[in-house]
Structure 1
Amino acid sequence: MICPHCEQSLLRRERPANVCGKCGRTYALDPKTNPLRLHDLRVRRVTRKLTRDGQVPCTPDQLWYALSRRSLRETQVDMGCAIALTLFGLVVGIAGLLTVMAFAVVGGLLLLGALGFVVAEIGGVGRGRPRLDRKAFHAGALADWRRVYQALPPGVVDDSGYPSPPAVPASEGLVLVCPDRSIAVFLDAAGLTTRYGVTLAADPGALSDSPGPGPVLVLHDADAHGLLLADRVRAALPGRPVVDVGLPLDAVYGRANAVPVRGEPPKAEVMEPLAERAELSPAQFQWLRKGWGFPLVGVEPARLLAVVTRAVERARAAADPERRRAASVGFMTWPEGDGA
């Protein structure tokens, strides 16, 4: 690996205990000792990309997904074992044919074991399963980074000091329901809440005690539970305008650059309402039933902020009588003409 301090190439024996053998400085992450094969230079590079060189913030969970993308595409099958079993099986099998037949049987069993690895690889066993979940990332790689550098990577928001989104939002004004606390922290850190007066809520059940007239936006993962969130909010707030901002399944399903995550398969009571939705294809329904989904933390921060900002602006315009009247007469639209 390359030392993040002196930028010298280091062999494994030249970096004991995460200390560079050439400059003597300590680094945080060694690709040989963490499940995501991380090193400091990669973390910095990915963070700069996520934050667009500091133009937008990002949260630790958004960084977790970005660093996990590569491993989420891969299976968890060790093909090195398959190769070793194949070679050993061939040697033992040939030896058995020439000497003792018992060796041939053992060689055949070894080849069958190698075939099992190949079948598992083709079947995608382990694909979509995080090598390191969010909590382990905080307790492991992120804690190691803090220990060495006394801070998070530049641009990453320290969400440990943020309180949870308020249980009961204001009865009037715009409300954004987002169960993912990491995304709520990101939107708050990006200034959305103060700029537009948006109140964040984590659970639609908390909204039932404040049945104000203001619109409610719903932001969710593209998985079985997330696709039902807007319906839950409508049931909790009958008569109040509810807008499903997304994440829409069609925006990520089957897209090559959208790397999904596989969790536990949802229960039957979750899938039953989805079975009645005409907009879901049979393939999408089966995909969701197997536990697949795409998390909000996987959306590029700048893109997510832009989408939510547009949704907030539209909701505010629709709820404001003066803005609706101005839009009806073409106020703030570009005048048409010959361009002279």
Structure 2
Amino acid sequence: MICPHCAQNLLFKERPGHTCSKCGRAFALDPRTNALGLSDLRVRRVLARITREGTVTVTPDQLWYALARTRLEESRIPRGRGGAFVLIGLVVGVPGLAVGAAPMLVVSGVLLVIGAGCAAARMAGAGRGRPVMDRAAFRKKALGAWRRVYGGLPPGVTDDSAPPAFTAPGGATAQDWSGGVLLCTDPGIRTFLAANGLPDRCGVALAGRPDLLPARASDGPVVVLRDADASGELLARAVREALAPRPVIDAGPDLRTARALTRAVPLRERGARPGPAALARLTALGGFTEQELAWLGKGWRIPLIALPPARLLETAARRAGRAVGPGPERHRAAATGFMTWPTQETEDGTGER
């Protein structure tokens, strides 16, 4: 690996204890000692890309997904493992057949069965979509090591350990707020939107649960930003039914559109598989193909953290702006003549129902 401090190429024996033997400085991550093969330089390169060179702030989960994305596309069974078992099975079996050694034939048969099973499982995508290092492990191990070496999170990553349940422009409380609300149950994404100034930019409050919606804003629109999965598909519909006749806008991302995004690799996380009741509700609602229902039923999902952060921010701002009108910043800009609120906006491709 390359030392992040002196840029020297280091063999594994030249970096004992996560310390460069050439410059004597410590680094956080060694690709040989973590499941994602992370290094300090790789983290910095990926951060530069997803933050657009520091112009967008991201959360630990968004960084985790960006680093784990390529591994999510891979099967848990390494390439060639099935073939190796088959080859060894033949090496053992052919001589055993020649001399009539029953034990060798049994061992050969077992190896051939294992090899065929491995090959079939890899072709079927066994383990695909399941992270080799989950979010909790990434925070504890990778970001924990980064904090110990550098004294804090990587530049451009915001702390989302204590997300507020409600955030309004100008620090207004839920009791005082009477404008539109963007509802998002993912606390990390709310932290992401708040850290990038969306409430003040669009004049919209952020809420984490429907029961936190301000009573004073009973006529104001509610924009629902949710994951593309079984629970997300049901959330917007449940909120719309609970708040009727209050306008509720499903800002998606739409399942069909999200699945078509090349960089949004789906994943399967523990506990995300929907139960029979949820699948029955989705089926009754209609609008999904049998293939999509089967995909959802297996626990596949594309969470909001899977969307490129800058695109997610732009989409959320556009949806909120379309629902509630110009925010305070745009009002001030328009008043000074530098910009006007657009009369038409083009679809951004994330889908809306």
Normalised to the residue count of structure 1, the TM-score between the two structures is 0.88
- The answer to whether the Cα contact below 8 Å between 1:165 and 1:181 also exists between their aligned partners in 2 is no
1:304 is matched with 312
1:14 aligned partner, one-letter code: E
1:260 is matched with 266
2:142 is matched with 141
2:113 is matched with 112
Secondary structure of the 1:257 match is coil
1:326 is matched with none
Of residues 226-235 and 36-45 in structure 1, the stretch that sits farther from structure 2 once superposed is: 226-235
1:244 is matched with 250
2:318 aligned partner, one-letter code: R
Structure 2: gaps spanning 5 or more residues: 332-339, 344-353
Give matches, 1:31-50, under 5 Å: 31-50=31-50
Structure 1: gaps spanning 5 or more residues: 324-330, 335-340
- The answer to whether the Cα contact below 8 Å between 1:207 and 1:236 also exists between their aligned partners in 2 is no
Task: Give the one of 162, 177, 180 matched to 2:186.
Answer: 180
2:224 is matched with 218
- The answer to whether the Cα contact below 8 Å between 1:204 and 1:233 also exists between their aligned partners in 2 is yes
Distance 1:316 1:255, change over 3 A: closer
Q: Supply the distance in 1 between the matched residues of 2:11 and 2:146 (Cα, whole angstroms).
A: 21
Q: Supply the distance in 2 between the matched residues of 1:276 and 1:67 (Cα, whole angstroms).
A: 37
Of residues 26-35 and 176-185 in structure 1, the stretch that sits farther from structure 2 once superposed is: 26-35
Secondary structure of the 1:222 match is coil
Q: Supply the distance in 2 between the matched residues of 1:194 and 1:318 (Cα, whole angstroms).
A: 11
Q: Supply the distance in 2 between the matched residues of 1:260 and 1:121 (Cα, whole angstroms).
A: 17
1:169 is matched with 174
Query: How far apart are 1:211 and its partner, in Å?
Result: 5.9
Normalised to the residue count of structure 2, the TM-score between the two structures is 0.85
2:235 is matched with 229
1:212 aligned partner, one-letter code: S
Query: How far apart are 1:164 and its partner, in Å?
Result: 3.7
Q: Supply the distance in 2 between the matched residues of 1:257 and 1:62 (Cα, whole angstroms).
A: 13
Distance 1:183 1:268, change over 3 A: same
Runs of 4+ off more than 4 Å:
208-211, 331-334
1:338 is matched with none
Query: How far apart are 1:47 and its partner, in Å?
Result: 0.3
- The answer to whether the Cα contact below 8 Å between 2:221 and 2:323 also exists between their aligned partners in 1 is yes
* Percent of aligned pairs sharing the same letter: 48
Q: CA RMSD in A?
A: 2.4
Secondary structure of the 1:243 match is strand
2:284 is matched with 276
2:153 is matched with 152
Distance 1:255 1:196, change over 3 A: closer
Query: How far apart are 1:257 and its partner, in Å?
Result: 3.0
Distance 1:6 1:176, change over 3 A: same
Q: Supply the distance in 2 between the matched residues of 1:282 and 1:161 (Cα, whole angstroms).
A: 40
